[in-house]
Chains A and B, each alone.
Chain A
């Protein structure tokens, strides 16, 4: 039978490839140094040769004073005595999987008031092992890494590269990732915590002609295809700027966030974030101090956008912290104060009041009154179409129990009901 084979599109293309005789043997490997030298020229670096390959290194030292000791009081994991090492990678993708290549590693090490910046640029896939070995020499074993999203991305990716080449990754003493810190402190008013947003709003950095991060992978592939070294200069500058911003951000933390005397001038929302940091690290006394500073901040006198809600949350957090510190009567007063002010926060506040009256003051009637207040608030909220589920479900158990207790107690000792 006469079969007419047509074949798939893919099959046809492969056939064409095979018949054209194109095979890898036809394109012999190029000498390694051919690429490194022009690259070094284009970015103002030098070629570092290693038995495993060649890497282009660009060095720079800049004045950047920082009072590192102040960082110690912050609720973030950092040891100011350790050498601080800022790291930022430029990569060929966003996954920390095996196919993502970090082709540019920026390392900024603080030496007193100076930041020494080394940028390691990869001329070819085949030079990666050399880059990793040179990088190892730049990372002190007692160093403390400072990164932006480095806990989730940069460091796991570097670790993966060492593992891929069956080497142990370099050791370090600790790691401070500034992304969660920035999120906690500033996201509430910046809308996000990308480095580009934060460096501009917090450090006042203005980048000109910056290469957007999402274009960087394609830029490197473009370089590999065309070998036009100049293409990578903007990437190197982008990376340099990232490291500098990282360093500046650390300086801001030391100078504007850590010292208590700076709190009066700070945004109360930023301070709320700082307080949460302390609270999470189980340092409630310091958290309370920050909250109280936030409630007394200068900003309130100037009027604050969305201030009412923030004030309410700060007040509630203050009451909660007082409770955590065992200052129960102060906490009770604080809750009562919030409850008396009404509004959506009053529901929870009344519940706290009820709890205190029931368990501390042994005032069942008073607790019942507070619960009924909470119920009124919850009903109103439901009528508004924004039910307070937590309050409602708490009341479902608390109210009947209090009613039972009130009913039981009354005939037994009617005279001493309110005596706590």
Chain B
């Protein structure tokens, strides 16, 4: 058989699945039937230029969801459009906006996208449509990258202003007087990718939108709002919470889709007794190779930056050996520079790029066209994200393929053994809480800065007088003679609050080979830096290896030179946790459950050098970097007197094993990404003076996971016990309590005993049995 022979997608899939090693890994193979287009004629009121523009792009009729959106907006509703990737969602807002401008050139619109990349993308497609309609519409992106000269122009003349919530919060709203033309004439607010506005970020964005609407009211405009969301469990609730107004849901997708094959693969265990399973990379690599060789456009999603780089290296290596199109396979992730990303996106659309290996950076609606195959190396952590990533493949007429390769982790194994979970349960609900006191207070401050509050006003449905009184005590606002609350401080409140809980600072990675003009090759965020770009680390970028020669922590710069070595490096983090304040505590079986604020300090201590293929340890080195502190919320379980009789080493393995199981079940219960929760087990907590397992929110400030775990403690413990009991391994494996520990392989048994006690079961007999 020739290695590189163009073949149809389905034929390629069948050949791939027929391989014996692959066949035994198949746990699910479903075919979603072809769906024809459902269309409706363009509304009669639509401007003739727009109709012509649509015709010139080959659009004679609208999809039903587009027509429905147009009519709903015409009737004065706010709407939320919920349809999959590439279903022509942007027409749902671009058309009404252009129609508004056609009817009244003074009309303006504000587009909000969660990332800068999406802003550029959507602006380009909006301009194309406007140009096709031969309409002269001033549209521009206003974000941190916008040059000063253009800013003034966008402020005064931009009919369509494209920005992100962060920019709106810190640059536009506080300076609203410079934007008065926009606010006076605002007709539409477009909130795209609304499903990304969840958790603390979403709670912030909801308040930013309230501030926006408050200013519109001041300037006398009444904009309508168009939200767009990927498929989530509760689009209406999300949109309504986000904007604080009722919305009409438009979710009957009229876009056609070709037949789609969805395959779930679970790599068979290498050692059943120890429960050792291979990671997802091997099978993912194999699948990707099959499609790339057949000349099918393929996207591979890795779960981490390192995973992406390893996959990319592997694919290029394999393609090189077979003289295949190795340069047509690219990497794509957060650390790449914007220009590099734009080039890759364009290459995907034009077909020049055959394959791309990406982190979830490509999950959002960045336009890369439609691909033949999507391969997920590991479960992305949520059902919604899984469908989004799988949605990257899918042609209008031809068949397409999506393959999920389960990893060795517990959550992955849960999905692999219960594939119906993917197909039958509804996607996660996006939750946000605009009335979160900390968030709300921050925005009351910012809003008071923008405009005085009247007595009896409210923000996000919460009366503000109490909060303002509180702020007045702190000296931020004052009640003036006219009974209004005015900002009365030198501070600039919007700059004190970052909407995204992640650190705003990045470490820039600089290749010094080209001195005196060193080249910036990428960046990593500050929390990731200690484990990625410490001195002597091997940093992977576009599958090239770079040696980190020097890390200037103060300047946030890492200096690297390209190298070619046969190892990679992995850093070890030492994590300590200190509770700061308990929000709530309650007795539980065999102990106590609680949640509250904690300080998690992590310090990268040493790194290991591991050989590329075999992962064997080649040596180690020390990392000298300052400790990073994470102020967040945690849920914890303190063990009661029942455990006083346990030996310290027993407790040690039991706690960390039970902790692992709790962590796994927690992320399934909360439908959060497993990385969103960190775990620390303390045999003797210096604060509680007893054994404690902490599960903490791994983003600063927390997104409310801890409180929900606290409420669902019983379910959580029962689930963890179930997980350990159901696992087929004998002495502990990565899928339950973690790999077999040194101490005699009794880790699993101790952890099980501990969980049984916590679940209120009879631990005594079990104890006797072990003893």
Contact in complex: B583, A8 (CB < 8 Å): yes
A119 contacts B by Cβ under 8 Å: no
**Selected contact of A224 from candidates B455, B466, B488, CB within 8 Å:** B488
Nearest neighbor of A218 in chain B, beta-carbon distance: B490
Instruction: Report the stretch among A96-104, A320-328, A365-373 that lies at the interface.
Output: A96-104
B465 interface contact, C-beta 8 A: yes
Closest residue of chain A to B485 (Cβ to Cβ) is A24
On whether the beta carbons of A22 and B469 are closer than 8 Å, the reply is yes
Nearest-neighbour CB distance to chain A for B149, whole angstroms, equals 15
Binds A, one of B40-48, B187-195, B246-254, B445-453: B445-453
Kindly state the separation between the CA atoms of A14 and B440 in the bound complex, as whole angstroms. 13
Does chain B have a CB within 8 A of A419? no
Known contacts: A8-B437, A17-B469, A23-B466. The answer to whether A99 contacts B174 by CB under 8 A is yes
Cα–Cα distance between A10 and B437 once the two chains are bound (Å): 8
Q: Flag if A126 contacts B177 (CB, 8 Å).
A: no
A306 at interface, CB cutoff 8 A: no
Cβ contacts A to B, 5 pairs, < 8 Å: A10-B437, A23-B466, A93-B491, A97-B175, A125-B486
Given A4-B586, A7-B583, A30-B481: A98 and B449 interface contact (C-beta under 8 Å): yes
Closest to B482 in A: A126
Q: Which residues of B contact A408 (CB under 8 A)?
A: none
Q: Are A32 and B481 in contact (CB under 8 A)?
A: yes
Apart from A98-B449, A125-B488, what 12 extra A-B contacts exist at CB < 8 Å?
Answer: A6-B583, A6-B596, A8-B597, A24-B479, A24-B483, A28-B483, A29-B482, A92-B489, A93-B489, A95-B174, A96-B175, A163-B178
A92-B488, A98-B176 known; A18+B466 contact, CB < 8 A: yes
Tell me the bound Cα distance from A225 to B584 in angstroms.
Answer: 38
Q: How far is the CB of A81 from chain B (nearest CB, A)?
A: 29
Which residue of chain B is the closest to A94 with respect to CB atoms?
B490
* Across the A-B interface, the 6 shortest Cβ-Cβ residue pairs: A99-B449, A126-B482, A163-B177, A160-B177, A125-B480, A99-B487
Taking a contact as CB atoms under 8 Å apart, the answer to whether A17 and B175 are in contact is no
Contact A389:B516 (CB < 8 A) given known A1-B586, A4-B585, A8-B583: yes
Closest to B486 in A: A125
Q: Which among B219, B466, B475, B581 has the greatest number of chain A C-beta atoms within 10 A?
A: B466
Chain B, interface SS category: mixed
A164: interface (CB < 8 Å): yes
A98 touches B450 (CB 8 A): yes
> For residue A5, which residue of chain B has the nearest CB?
B584
User: Which of B176, B469, B585, B587 sits near A6, CB closer than 8 Å?
Assistant: B585
Whether B582 is near chain A, meaning CB under 8 Å from some CB there, is yes
- Chain B positions 212-243 with a Cβ under 8 Å from a chain A Cβ: 218-219
A351 to B449, CA, bound (A): 57
Within 8 A of B (CB), among A157-201: 159-161, 163-164, 166
Q: Which residue of B174, B437, B465 contacts A98 across the interface (Cβ within 8 Å)?
A: B174
**Nearest CB in chain A: distance from B517 CB, A:** 10
How close is A47's CB to chain B, nearest CB, in angstroms?
Answer: 14
Q: Mark A1-38, 1 if CB is under 8 A from B, else 0.
A: 11111111111011001100011110111111001000
Is A313's beta carbon under 8 Å from chain B?
no
Beta-carbon contact of B488 and A17 below 8 Å: no
**B695 interfacial contact with A, CB 8 Å:** no
Residue A337 CB within 8 A of the other chain? no
Q: Do A221 and B475 touch (CB < 8 A)?
A: yes
Give the docked Cα–Cα distance between A25 and B479 (Å): 11
If the complex has contacts A14-B437, A125-B478, are A159 and B177 also in contact, measured as CB distance less than 8 A? yes
| Chain B residues whose CB sits within 8 angstroms of the CB of A160 once the complex forms | 175, 177-178
Q: Mark B466-507, 1 if CB is under 8 A from A, else 0.
A: 111110010100111111111111111100000000000000
Q: Which of A32, A97, A127 contacts B174 (CB 8 A)?
A: A97
The CA-CA distance from A88 to B343 in the complex, in Å, is 50
B324 CB to closest chain A CB, in angstroms? 40
Task: For chain B, residues 486 to 536, give those with C-beta under 8 angstroms from any C-beta of chain A.
Answer: 486-493, 516
Cβ B175 vs Cβ A126 within 8 A: no
B727 interface residue (CB < 8 Å to A): no
Chain B CB within 8 A of A292 CB: no
B481 x A29 contact (CB < 8 A): yes
Q: Is the CB of A14 within 8 A of B438?
A: no
Residues of B within 8 A of A32 (CB): 481
Given contacts A10-B437, A96-B175, A97-B449, contact A126 B480 (CB under 8 A): yes
Task: Say yes or no: is B441 at the interface (Cβ < 8 Å to chain A).
Answer: yes
Tell me which residues across on chain B come within 8 A of A6, comparing CB atoms.
581-585, 596
B336 within 8 A of A: no
Identify which of A17, A22, A29, A99 gathers the most chain B CB atoms within 10 Å of its CB. Answer: A99
Is A99's CB under 8 angstroms from B466's CB? no
Is A298 in contact with chain B by the CB < 8 A criterion? Answer: no
A7 CA to B585 CA, complexed, in Å: 10
B469/A23 in contact, CB under 8 A: yes
CA distance A162 to B747 in the complex (A): 71
Shortest CB-to-CB span from B604 to chain A, Å, is: 31
Q: Which residue of A lies closest to B478 (CB)?
A: A224
- Minimum CB–CB distance from B723 to chain A (whole Å) comes to 24
Residues on B with C-beta less than 8 A from A217 are 490
